[in-house]
Copies of this chain bind each other. A is one copy, B any other.
Amino acid sequence: MAKETPTIRPDVEADYTIAEPFQLERGGTLPVTLRYAIYGDMERHRDRVVLVCHALSGSARVADWWAELFGPGLPFDTQRCCIIGVNIIGSCYGTTGPASLNPATGKPYGPDFPVVTVGDSVRAQALLLDHLGVKQIHAAVGGSIGGMQALEWALRYPERIRNVVAVGTAPLNAMGLALNHLQRQAIWNDPNYNSGWYKDQPAGGLGLARALAMCSYKSAELFEERYARNPNRNGEDPFASLKARFDIGGYLDHQEEIFVRRFDANTFVTITKLMDTWDLPADDEPLHEMAKRGVRAHFVGISSDWLFPAADVRRAAERFARARVSTSYSELESAHGHDAFLADSHLITAQLNEVLHGGEFCRILAAIAGSESAAD
């Protein structure tokens, strides 16, 4: 479906450089420039600014990866709200990351790039919103690492946010930590990685990392439905040699090639680490503050997600509910695994509409219903 949607360009795409060296949570400072994108009219919708947070390989250009949610009557309807996307610290899509030039050396940071956290990106985003004159956001919305940012927003700035929507998001469990560890290892093992000081991408390692990640983003059910035990569609006979592939092998190798062209190995290491280290607060104080301020938290688990199992998402939601935060939990029924927040995003449009446009949305529906009966 995404492929059929014409590209929606942001109305604004710009960089914002934080004036002072930015203090990182895990120690050290970093000069930070944030790449952000704005869809719609921020002045007109100052009371309805929606921060949409991206996942591992996403960017500030929300409509590039969540196109199905944009359009009239859809959640990201720029006639009804203003969407802001901000590339996270550590990424390779415009914001300061390992591939950026280190002003101290004039060369890319590479492996010298510090450990950054979800909290770092969220604090930087808050400075950007100050700069843009946005005092309060109507909602922070995201899937996966995007959901981590959205939740972190509510936990840190409950006075600045009304709603948070987190899809397929929970603190990563031991299996998730295991898979991320092995993905980084695949990169580190590649001699082209050269301890992070590569000129050409360590394509083998980064590709393998991506393919393993793809296995964790999808589901066994989907793979079975699409690839089963079929021989590679290129005609290869998987029985002919040790290297000959089944269809799923061809698919994964293809995914590797695409990804290696558009992503950076040090960035992959940095962002999987940021994904690992994110957790909910140890005590409930920030949740109580959310409750006091009336921030609503909406959690969506994905039925076939085994990277962030629905049960983990539900457990997180239950903790918020116990702390008296106004909380909802629902489940996205999909065979797409973790990736469903992108691949089956049409299944959450009604819910997002309700959260983002609530009463207004109901009025629109009523108006449509009225016009229909008038036409009858």
Q: Give A contacts to B, CB under 8 Å.
A: 26, 111, 115, 171-175, 177-179, 181-182, 184-186, 188-191, 204-205, 208, 211-212, 215, 219-220, 223-224, 226-229, 238-243, 245-249, 252, 269-270, 273, 276-277, 279, 306, 309
Q: Looking across the interface, which residue of chain B has its beta carbon closest to that of A111?
A: B242
Residues of B within 8 A of A26 (CB): 239-240
B212 touches A189 (CB 8 A): no
Given contacts A277-B239, A306-B220, are A182 and B229 in contact (CB under 8 A)?
no
Interface of A is mostly: helix
In the complex, how many angstroms separate the beta carbon of A102 from the nearest chain B beta carbon?
16
In the complex, how many angstroms separate the beta carbon of A193 from the nearest chain B beta carbon?
11
Once bound together, how far apart are the Cα atoms of A242 and B183, in whole Å?
Answer: 12
Q: Looking across the interface, which residue of chain B has its beta carbon closest to that of A117?
A: B239
Once bound together, how far apart are the Cα atoms of A340 and B227, in whole Å?
Answer: 28
- Among B177, B229, B270, which residue has its beta carbon within 8 angstroms of that of A249? B177
In the complex, how many angstroms separate the beta carbon of A260 from the nearest chain B beta carbon?
13
Given contacts A172-B229, A185-B211, are A178 and B223 in contact (CB under 8 A)?
yes
Give the 3 A-B residue pairs with the shortest CB-CB distance, closest first. Answer: A174-B223, A175-B220, A181-B249
Count chain B CB atoms within 10 A of each CB in A219, A239, A240 and give the residue with the most.
A239
Q: Looking across the interface, which residue of chain B has its beta carbon closest to that of A225?
A: B174
Residues of B within 8 A of A191 (CB): 191
B228 touches A173 (CB 8 A): yes
Once bound together, how far apart are the Cα atoms of A219 and B211, in whole Å?
Answer: 20
A252 touches B175 (CB 8 A): no
Residues of B within 8 A of A181 (CB): 245-246, 248-249, 252
Once bound together, how far apart are the Cα atoms of A65 and B295, in whole Å?
Answer: 55
Residues of B within 8 A of A279 (CB): 229
A177 touches B248 (CB 8 A): yes
In the complex, 18 of the A-B residue pairs with CB atoms within 8 angstroms, ordered by the A residue number, are A115-B239, A171-B229, A173-B228, A174-B226, A174-B228, A175-B224, A175-B248, A177-B246, A178-B249, A178-B252, A181-B245, A181-B246, A181-B252, A182-B211, A186-B208, A189-B205, A189-B208, A242-B269
A248 touches B189 (CB 8 A): no
Residues of B within 8 A of A208 (CB): 182, 185-186, 189
Given contacts A220-B309, A279-B229, are A252 and B173 in contact (CB under 8 A)?
no
In the complex, how many angstroms separate the beta carbon of A314 from the nearest chain B beta carbon?
15
B115 touches A276 (CB 8 A): no
B184 touches A186 (CB 8 A): no
- Among B189, B219, B276, B309, which residue has its beta carbon within 8 angstroms of that of A238? B276
In the complex, how many angstroms separate the beta carbon of A352 from the nearest chain B beta carbon?
28
In the complex, how many angstroms separate the beta carbon of A157 from the nearest chain B beta carbon?
23
Q: Looking across the interface, which residue of chain B has its beta carbon closest to that of A277?
A: B239
Residues of B within 8 A of A179 (CB): 215
B252 touches A174 (CB 8 A): no
In the complex, how many angstroms separate the beta carbon of A308 from the nearest chain B beta carbon?
11
